[in-house]
Amino acid sequence: MTCETRTRELPGARVAYDIGGDGPPVVLIHGWACRRADFAGVAADLRRDHRVITIDLPWHGDSTATALAWTLDDLGALVEAIVADEGMRGAPLVGHSMGAAVALEAVLAGEGHRVIGLDGLTFMHMYPKQSADRQDALLQPYRVDFPAAVHALCRRACGPDTDPALTERIAGRMAEMDPEAGVRMLGALLEWDMDTALTRADALGVDITVFAARPLLAPEVETAYGHRFGIVPVDLGGHFYLMERPAETAGLIRQALAEGTGTARAAPGN
């Protein structure tokens, strides 16, 4: 199923996105320093039976921006504006890594009630809101040498079982992000108050499922947040499993859309 690339001029950014397919709508949002192309295989699969949007956030991929500072609220409002422009208001939102937080903010800014995270919201060193000292310590390597810090992050996130060529390809593309914009946006993620967002989501009845890469899922995460949203460990690879196993990732998304959180808490067959 083919797709069309479109752009939208929004305050502070010119946003590029792909849209295509027929059927129920779904929106795909990439992670920090990543791009919509990361969802290429997943989106192609989903377009067989869904209307799919994949978005490049400001300072990512083919999107450009004039504003350096973007909060997660800002990014959520931007996503919601594009979804509304395309007549897909209320569509389920799927976010990888930081994209899961953006998806949650987009739902809170609009009319949707469904968020699916792909290895997002479950890293306790980044969520919930970090202290000022912790933020500074995490950001310092990126201020000193952005490409080196990005490569180190990717190697940790991918793990030893990911094809090293894929790991380096992902890291190389992520390291292309403007360093100042990258540090500011990572800081915005560390500053984001996930607990407050989840409280608002609870009040609105937002349905949240996170498919967490099992090798990266710490037991304390399920203790801390397992009662707030569905956490489903999956065995598809490391943090970037959507690129390692796109067809299986699309299958997880379909199952979550069909079942809802109540049944998604039971791990599906991988």
Question: What burial letters (b/e) apply to 57-76, b meaning 16+ CB within 10 Å?
Answer: bbbbbebebeeeebbbbbbb
pLDDT of residue 260: 65
- Mean pLDDT score across all residues of the chain: 94
* Cα–chain center distance at 69: 19
259 falls in which pLDDT band (50, 70, 90)? confident
Q: Say if residue 122's pLDDT is above 50.
A: yes
Q: Say if residue 106's pLDDT is above 70.
A: yes
Q: Are strands 114-118 and 207-213 parallel, antiparallel or unpaired?
A: parallel
Per CATH, the number for 3-128+192-264 is 3.40.50.1820
Domain boundaries, the chain: 3-128+192-264
Q: Are strands 51-55 and 25-29 parallel, antiparallel or unpaired?
A: parallel
Distance CA 71, CA 188 (A): 5
Share of the chain above pLDDT 90, in %: 93
Of 111, 88, 85, which is closest to residue 25 (Cα–Cα)? 88
262 falls in which pLDDT band (50, 70, 90)? very low
pLDDT of residue 11: 93
Determine which helix (DSSP H) or strand (DSSP E) holds 212, and give its type and residue range. Answer: strand 207-213
Distance CA 254, CA 246 (A): 12
Q: What is the pLDDT of residues 175-231, one digit of tens each?
A: 999 999 999 999 999 999 999 999 999 999 999 999 999 999 999 999 999 999 999
Q: Which two tokens stand for residue 146?
A: 């952005």
Distance CA 264, CA 230 (A): 7
Please report how many Cα atoms fall inside a 13 Å half-sphere around the Cα of residue 131, on the Cβ side: 3
